[in-house]
């Protein structure tokens, strides 16, 4: 909470003294009386008290899970739970940065007596991704307007605009647990693989009795085995990833987070183990696991970790204000928190021997490409899902597109599948289906 003076009546004192002085010198009682009145106005603000702000905010949306582009009405209801009247109350709702207000206004002003309420609403256009509303900013002034209190009131609200993806196509691996990842090895499964000579102890149900009836030979049928996959969804939230095609559109980190949530939901419907990681402001990690509680933990991490913020560094209010030590946060970031090399090493240390990584990145940073190549070289199978936020409208945009194409080519030549996804024109599920053979 911040309390400050507005200096609204700053010139009244000087004017009152001047008028009073003129009245005394000129011996004009009427002018002197005007000076006295001015002095009374100047003293009035000092008799008022700082407003006590105690509010309860209830924010509701017409649809918590809208479709992409759908209009969502947000209603904010504010109640004065304090004992004093708020004579000049101003409110600004914390609209997520990636949502565009299409009707109404998230700003509101009111006079609230104790126990009374005020309500306002506005409409936003849903964008793909998970959007958390920020606290409501409150500014309350006293009756004279000389003192104001600024604070925030939280009201947890989230819009989840996601699309389902089909069953995730994953790369082959060898973890020995029954799952839904099809391998090239024979065993007990559902898809025919080969026949081989009968061995003592083979199940009677897998003997090829038709062949035995024709030739007298005992052979055993083998099927392609299904095994459990251990998958880590890795989101690139480095500085360079906060790039958007146009200033009023979502940046690549927002698209990557939306894709990660869709893939998390798809993998949660299987028996595969799934984890979440992120590189950026700091290293974020949730080890691969399975079950409803683990799924909730993964969604919570994606929604709350500073690493997965959709707001570019330096644009958050807390980051602009710094930590109070007078240093430049972005400079500190370059030296420490954004050390991709150390985060890469930490990721490699935590990955299990059978884990594979799905990297969601716009491929705007050559160091991230190097990280993917390094993981693959060390035996971790990597798949890249890359939202394309480049534009051919400018020379710089065309250069960025060329650099990205070269990085995609480099990854594919190294055996790393890349899903080239244009979030503006294609759904992620469509692109995954289109490149399923490449991934598998």
319 lies in the same domain as 244: yes
Q: How confident is the model at residue 18 (pLDDT cuts 50, 70, 90)?
A: low
- What is the average per-residue pLDDT within 234-253? 90
* Residues 354 and 418 grouped into a single domain: yes
Largest CA distance in the chain: 135
> 361 versus 37: which is more confidently predicted?
361
The pLDDT value recorded for residue 144 is 63
Q: Is the pLDDT of residue 188 over 50?
A: no
Residues 298 and 407 in one domain: yes
Last residue within a domain, chosen from 188, 206, 227 = 227
Tell whether 126 and 189 lie within a shared domain. Answer: no
**Are 209 and 336 found together in one domain?**
no
Q: Which residue has the tokens 């989101």?
A: 235
Q: Give pLDDT tens digits for 261-308.
A: 888 888 887 778 899 999 999 999 999 998 889 999 998 999 889 999
Output the average pLDDT for the chain. Answer: 79
Q: What is the pLDDT of residue 147?
A: 76
Are 149 and 34 contained in the same domain? no
Q: Are residues 360 and 253 in the same domain?
A: yes
- What is the CATH number for 120? 2.60.40.10
Residue 11 has pLDDT above 60, yes or no: no
Number of domains in the chain: 4
Same domain, 216 and 247: no
Do the bridges between strand 355-360 and strand 230-236 make them parallel or antiparallel, or are there none, so unpaired? parallel
75: domain range? 55-161
The mean pLDDT of 249-263, rounded to a whole number, is: 89
Q: Give me the mean pLDDT over the 348-353 stretch.
A: 86
Q: Are residues 328 and 434 in the same domain?
A: yes
366 within domain boundaries: yes
pLDDT at 244 over 60: yes
Average pLDDT over residues 41-65: 78
Per-residue pLDDT tens digits for 88-140: 899 999 998 778 899 999 999 999 999 999 999 999 998 777 788 989 999 99
Q: Is residue 173 part of a domain?
A: no
């Amino acid at each position: 909470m911040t309390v400050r003076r507005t200096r609204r009546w700053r010139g009244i004192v000087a004017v009152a003294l001047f008028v009073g002085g003129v009245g005394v010198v000129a011996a004009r009682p009427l002018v002197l009386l005007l000076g006295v009145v001015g002095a009374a106005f100047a003293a009035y603000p000092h008799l008022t008290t700082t407003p006590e702000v105690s509010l309860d905010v209830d924010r509701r949306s017409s649809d918590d899970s809208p479709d992409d582009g759908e209009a969502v009405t947000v209603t904010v209801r504010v109640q004065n739970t304090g004992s004093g009247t708020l004579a000049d109350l101003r409110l600004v709702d914390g609209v997520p940065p990636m949502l565009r207000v299409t009707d109404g206004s998230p700003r509101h002003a009111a006079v609230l007596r104790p126990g009374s309420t005020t309500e306002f609403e506005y409409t936003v256009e849903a964008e793909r991704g998970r959007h958390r509303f920020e606290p409501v900013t409150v500014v309350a002034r006293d009756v004279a307007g000389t003192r104001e209190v600024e604070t925030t009131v939280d009201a947890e609200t989230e819009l989840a605009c996601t699309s389902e993806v089909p069953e995730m196509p994953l790369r082959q691996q060898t973890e020995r647990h029954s799952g839904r990842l099809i391998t090239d090895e024979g065993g007990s499964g559902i898809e025919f693989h080969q026949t081989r000579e009968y061995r003592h102890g083979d199940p009677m149900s897998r003997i090829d009795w038709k062949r035995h009836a024709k030739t007298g030979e005992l052979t055993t049928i083998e099927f392609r085995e299904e095994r459990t996959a251990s998958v880590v969804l890795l989101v690139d939230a480095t500085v360079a990833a906060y790039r958007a095609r146009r200033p009023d559109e979502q940046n690549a980190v927002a698209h990557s987070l939306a894709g990660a949530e869709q893939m998390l939901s798809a993998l949660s419907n299987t028996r595969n183990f799934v984890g979440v990681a992120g590189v950026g402001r700091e290293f974020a990690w949730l080890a691969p696991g399975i079950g409803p509680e683990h799924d909730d933990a993964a969604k919570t991490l994606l929604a709350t970790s500073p690493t997965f913020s959709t707001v570019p560094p330096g644009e958050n209010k807390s980051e602009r204000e710094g930590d109070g030590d007078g240093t430049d946060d972005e400079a500190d970031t370059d030296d420490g928190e954004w050390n991709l090399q150390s985060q890469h090493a930490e990721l490699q240390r935590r990955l299990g021997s059978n884990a594979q990584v799905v990297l969601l990145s716009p491929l705007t940073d050559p160091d991230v490409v190097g990280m993917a190549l390094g993981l693959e070289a060390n035996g971790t199978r990597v798949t890249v899902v890359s939202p394309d936020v480049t534009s051919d409208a400018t020379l710089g945009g065309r250069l960025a597109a060329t650099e990205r194409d070269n990085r995609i080519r480099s990854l594919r030549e190294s055996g790393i599948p890349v899903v080239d996804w244009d979030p503006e024109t294609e759904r992620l599920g469509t692109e995954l289906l289109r490149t399923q053979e490449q991934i598998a």
